[in-house]
Amino acid sequence: MRHVLEFDSIRLSFGGRMILCDVYMKCETGKITGLLGRNGQGKSCLFNIVYGELQAEEKSVRFDNVSVAQGFMRPDLLRFLPQFDIIPKSFTISRVFDDFGLDYRELEKRFPEFASKHRVAVGKLSGGQYRFIQTYVILKAESRFVILDEPFTHLMPLQIEKVIELIREEKENKGLLITDHLYRPIIEIAHRLYLLTDGKTHPVRTIDEMEELGYVAAVR
């Protein structure tokens, strides 16, 4: 069965400056939705509002047309990887996998660099491995939708490829909403793309459309 996450009517301002005012995004299970935008446009704020971590002046977040104000109370519906590290550094990898109900042997089998590291605290891993573990557990854990805020940060090109592979795999089971400054992989894997600029989301399809809205020219 197909499930839908939609949000709109979001208004957010800081000190009189309007950050978000005209947002509409739709994310479906089985699909990858990409959100692009330059620094400071409010992408992370938007995701935090959808997740319920940040209070907006107005918002409407709906799962299958049912309003859910605090997404973080429903990990069965939504999980969120912010752009920073969230796993307590003293936790071992096996502990984290146990918390998320995942099988560590599966990770070992697919990614031999983690072989026999189940008792290692995540804080002892390299920055890339630490980020990779976080992305892996959030992606793999059971949920209808997953938001990934800059999942490629701190990753080496080889690790980015692995994450893209995981994202493609997991989209079969859930709906994925992703943003990252590495816009090429996002454009490549996303079924639907939005560009956030001046507090508004614009559905976009081509690089030219992004250029018209002032995005690609800034990073080309």
Binding site for other proteins (CB under 8 A): 51, 53, 72-76, 79-80, 82, 84-88, 91, 98-100, 138, 141
Cα–Cα distance for residue pair 150/92, rounded to 1 Å: 23
Q: Are 147 and 79 in contact (CB under 8 A)?
A: yes
- Cβ proximity to other proteins: between 153 and 197 the closer is 153
Cα–Cα distance for residue pair 63/86, rounded to 1 Å: 25
Q: Tally Cβ neighbours within 10 Å of residue 184.
A: 10
Nearest CA-CA partner of 37 in 187, 216, 164, 220: 216
- Cβ proximity to other proteins: between 87 and 204 the closer is 87
- Cβ proximity to other proteins: between 73 and 217 the closer is 73
**Please, what is the minimum distance in Å from the beta carbon of residue 177 to other proteins?**
15
**Please, what is the minimum distance in Å from the beta carbon of residue 145 to other proteins?**
12
**Please, what is the minimum distance in Å from the beta carbon of residue 184 to other proteins?**
27
For 128, the token pair is: 């890339």
**Please, what is the minimum distance in Å from the beta carbon of residue 91 to other proteins?**
8
Q: Are 214 and 197 in contact (CB under 8 A)?
A: yes
- Cβ proximity to other proteins: between 24 and 100 the closer is 100
